[in-house]
Structure 1
Amino acid sequence: MPTSVLVTYGTTNGSTAQIAETIAEVLSKEGLAAETLPARSVASVASYDAVVVGGGLYAGRWHRDARRFVRRHRHELAERPLWLFSSGPLDPSASERDIPPVPGVQKAMDRLDSREHVTFGGCLEEGAKGWVAGMILRSGKGGDFRDFAAVQEWATRIAAELVGAEGERS
């Protein structure tokens, strides 16, 4: 039976959801049963063998829904493989170098013994919700800096780790 993976996220304007969906697509192609859900709608992670949690970055903090998800499910998350990702820099920096997790995410990583964290570029385009988003866009600093090839590569590594672990148990 394939390993069941939850890919969940906190997002305001949907760009982090698109990253999560890409991760789940790759995991599914690699033979895993992957489901993508908004973090606020997950009641339990008990039925999943592994979890990937992502959050958009806003003013140096992970999206509220991602923070709440990790806090609410911390005991179950500590018992299964866990990967975290952030999306946010509105410049090419995430494609040029590793960007460490913001302090709150680093704390969650340490407490839950997560396998890995990666920061992907963000996306902020015309029509984005929020006063701050509007200010950023008016200042000319918006755009789409997501690198979907890097997202797919990372998801492939997660799949290889999970498939390898499944093979070791057989």
Structure 2
Amino acid sequence: MPDSVLVAYGTTNGSTARIAEAVAEVLRRDGLAVEARPARSVTSVTPYDAVVVGGGLYTGRWHKDARRFVRRHRRALAERPLWLFSSGPLDASASERDIPPVAGVRKAMDRLDARDHVTFGGCLEEGAKGWVARMILRSGKGGDFRDFAAVEAWASRVGAELVGEWERSR
């Protein structure tokens, strides 16, 4: 079984961090040792046997910290199991259908041979940072569209895959 799994995330207002923590909690329940950390705080992925990277979506792009993380650690990420997630649609679309990764995330998936990607609904509430966020909120399009049942189901599949690989390698 992997000794350690990293869940790294890029977030501006904390919504993606909450999703990353939920992913980490499910993986812990599956018996894995997991650490959830802001992507910008990770200096090396060497101590981890598997990695999950999440990023909020902002104007069609993955959060800059998530983008920088996969670019900075690309060699090490390509050598270990990797899953990616995005959060962002401020409507129910992510709960209604599969939303493909944005172009930059698709490139990272291909280059790093990521095993899976999923897009979860986002959350934008009063007090959010940034001019664009304030404009979205003023237009009445904010809200919390995160589906934690979907987050937990996806994380369970990731955990089952990791645990299954360990059991097969014994």
Q: TM-score, normalised by structure 2?
A: 0.99
CA contact (8 A) 1:3 1:166 kept: no
Query: What stretches of structure 2 of length at least 5 have no aligned partner?
Result: none
Q: Give 1:141's aligned residue.
A: 141
CA contact (8 A) 1:83 1:117 kept: yes
CA distance in 2, matches of 1:37, 1:6: 7
2:58 maps to amino acid: Y
Q: Render the CA deviation track for 1:104-151: whole Å, top value 9, x for unaligned.
A: 000000000000000000000000000100000000000000000000
Aligned ranges 1:97-108 → 2 under 5 Å: 97-108=97-108
CA distance in 2, matches of 1:2, 1:82: 12
CA contact (8 A) 1:85 1:120 kept: yes
Percent same amino acid among aligned pairs? 79
Aligned ranges 1:118-133 → 2 under 5 Å: 118-133=118-133
Q: RMSD across aligned C-alpha pairs, in angstroms?
A: 0.7
Runs (4+) of structure 1 exceeding 4 A deviation are none
Aligned ranges 1:50-129 → 2 under 5 Å: 50-129=50-129
- Tell me how far 1:2 sits from its aligned partner: 5.2
Query: What stretches of structure 1 of length at least 5 have no aligned partner?
Result: none
CA contact (8 A) 1:2 1:31 kept: no
Give the secondary-structure state (helix, strand or coil) at the position aligned to 1:24.
Answer: helix
Give the secondary-structure state (helix, strand or coil) at the position aligned to 1:7.
Answer: strand
Give the secondary-structure state (helix, strand or coil) at the position aligned to 2:141.
Answer: coil
Q: TM-score, normalised by structure 1?
A: 0.99
Figure out how many residues of one structure are paired with residues of the other and give that number.
170
- Tell me how far 1:3 sits from its aligned partner: 3.2
